[in-house]
Amino acid sequence: MLFLDELPEFQRNVLDALRQPLETGQVSVARANAHVTYPARVQLVAAMNPCRCGYLGDNELACTRAPRCGEEYQARLSGPLLDRFDIQIEVPAVKPEDLDLPAKGETSQAVRERVFLARELQMLRYKNEDISTNALADGEVLQEAAALDAEGRGLLQDAARQMKLSARGYHRILRVARTIADLAGSAAVKRGHIAEALNYRQMVYRR
């Protein structure tokens, strides 16, 4: 796993240099007398504030340059780089009165078990392919694994037009929806799985 905190603070050329390794799972180092390729398949996780001060959207704490400061800060990230993130979500600040509330939802152990079962399903699904997870499925393999019914296909196509998804983004939605279905124990990818996958793709910035 590669975790990049405060993503826009990295130099633009450094971030854009990640694009090809993220796509191919390999990184090439070229020198005068040698050209070497190394395996470099990682799960990339990143975090960022909405602006440099971190208070964009808070009328009491935001700086006097809002919302321009947020637009400039987020513009440090190129559209092609963001397109390579399968899941993009906004995490709102926690209210002080909510800090002492008991935790909700599933326990880590329950989630771990569901993930383990989903990974087993994927290994079985791709046993005849040179891959083991949905994240690596492509082409006909992906189309077969994430075959959609008419409702699901219609929703994804409508969203692709409205969100102006690239071909890469379209296929990433399919992979995420297939994984959501696996976690739910569903053999088919349904409209609800597509809707959830789309909800996890909140583009912060697009050129």
C-alpha closest to that of 121 among 111, 130, 132, 113: 132
Classified by CATH at the fold level, domain 108-199 comes out as Helicase, Ruva Protein; domain 3 (1.10.8)
Angle, vertex CA 25, rays to CA 23 and CA 31, nearest 5: 100
Q: Give 70's DSSP letter.
A: H
The full set of domain ranges for the chain reads 2-85, 108-199
pTM of the model: 0.87
- Is 2-85 a domain of CATH 3.40.190.80? no
Residue 175 in contact with residue 137, Cβ under 8 Å?
yes
Supply the pLDDT for residue 204: 56
Per-residue pLDDT of the chain (207 residues; tens, 9 = 90+): 999 999 999 999 999 999 989 988 999 888 888 889 999 999 999 999 989 888 888 888 888 888 888 889 988 999 899 999 999 998 888 888 888 888 788 899 999 999 999 999 999 999 999 899 999 999 999 999 999 999 999 999 999 999 999 999 999 999 999 999 999 999 999 999 999 999 998 765 443
Supply the pLDDT for residue 206: 41
Chain centroid to CA 199? 11
Supply the pLDDT for residue 205: 43
DSSP state string for 129-160: TT--SGGG--HHHHHHHT-B-HHHHHHHHHHH
Residue 64 in contact with residue 53, Cβ under 8 Å?
no
Q: 40 vs 7, 23, 134, CA distance in Å?
A: 19, 10, 18
